[in-house]
């Protein structure tokens, strides 16, 4: 049986579901959530009907839920949604609906939402333009699209290679300019954007994806070799408080639907 890229996404994120709310594994998702909410603030309205696409466990949906009327949290991986629903129940959140669906074929009529948001998803999509077109299709004219993602940094090396080795559902990193161009191609215009660097320790990053030990050892070896003057990986390794680490680039973009 042929394994599709969507199959890889569901397989990998089923393994990772229990780690998403745990800062010990996933600090970049949890502690930096407030940064995204602050960026999204100018787009928010108490009457918003929101959609979070490729939501994982719905961390963003839950964070926005007390500031809008309703949020639909959609993902292709049932285990992620089940974890998110448990968290929402624990937090007594009653205005978030969890739904299984494909980002490239959203199961909603056009112009259904006033705010559509996605975080850390585009680099997993084989066809990110198709997903952006769908997100804009279901967004009402004048509504907002917010995209937050890892982006390709300036400099030598190919970070996709080790990212994909760690997590086979990784497709490819885009630059901030690439994402803005895709949004323009899909018929909207970026109104605001920001980017920043995020140092990350290697071990929690490897543990979160349940990387096999031989894969983890190879990644560590390549990063250490670069620190010693070896081939450039594109991961920008460094020692963080004496431990092996690397640096990712993040970008947030807000666009207005037409």
pTM above 0.85, yes or no: yes
151 in Cβ contact with 214 (< 8 Å): no
Per-residue pLDDT at 5: 75
* Tens-place pLDDT, residues 169-222: 999 999 999 999 999 999 999 999 999 999 999 999 999 899 999 999 999 999
Q: How far apart are the first and last CA of the chain?
A: 42
pLDDT at 18 over 70: no
pLDDT at 26 over 60: no
What band does 128 get if pLDDT is binned at 50, 70 and 90?
very high
Question: Mean pLDDT in the chain?
Answer: 93
pLDDT > 90: percent of the chain: 86
Per-residue pLDDT at 6: 75
Token readout for 4 is 């599709």
Residue with tokens 């994909």: 164
* Tens-place pLDDT, residues 130-165: 999 999 999 999 999 999 999 999 999 999 999 999
């Amino acid at each position: 049986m042929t394994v599709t890229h969507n199959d890889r996404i569901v397989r990998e994120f089923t393994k990772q579901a229990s780690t998403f709310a745990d800062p010990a594994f996933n600090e970049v998702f949890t502690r930096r959530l407030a940064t995204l909410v602050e960026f999204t603030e100018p787009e928010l309205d108490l009457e918003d009907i929101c959609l979070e696409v490729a939501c994982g466990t719905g961390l963003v949906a839950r964070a926005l839920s007390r500031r809008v009327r309703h949020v639909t949290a959609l993902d292709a991986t049932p285990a992620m949604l089940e974890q998110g629903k448990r968290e929402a129940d624990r937090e007594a959140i009653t205005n978030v609906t969890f739904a299984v669906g494909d980002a490239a074929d959203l199961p909603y009529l056009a112009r259904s939402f006033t705010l559509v948001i996605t975080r850390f998803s585009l680099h997993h999509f084989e066809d990110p333009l198709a997903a952006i077109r769908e997100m804009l299709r279901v967004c009402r004219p004048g509504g907002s699209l917010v995209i937050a993602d890892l982006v390709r940094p300036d400099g030598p090396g190919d970070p996709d290679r080790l990212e994909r080795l760690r997590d086979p559902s990784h497709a490819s990193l885009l630059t901030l300019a690439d994402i803005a161009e895709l949004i323009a191609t899909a018929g909207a215009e970026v109104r605001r954007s920001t980017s920043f660097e995020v140092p990350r320790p290697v071990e929690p990053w490897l543990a979160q994806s349940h990387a096999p030990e031989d894969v983890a050892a190879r990644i560590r070896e390549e990063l250490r070799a670069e620190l010693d003057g070896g081939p450039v990986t594109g991961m920008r390794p460094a020692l963080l408080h004496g431990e092996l680490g690397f640096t990712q680039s993040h970008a947030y973009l807000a666009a207005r639907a037409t």
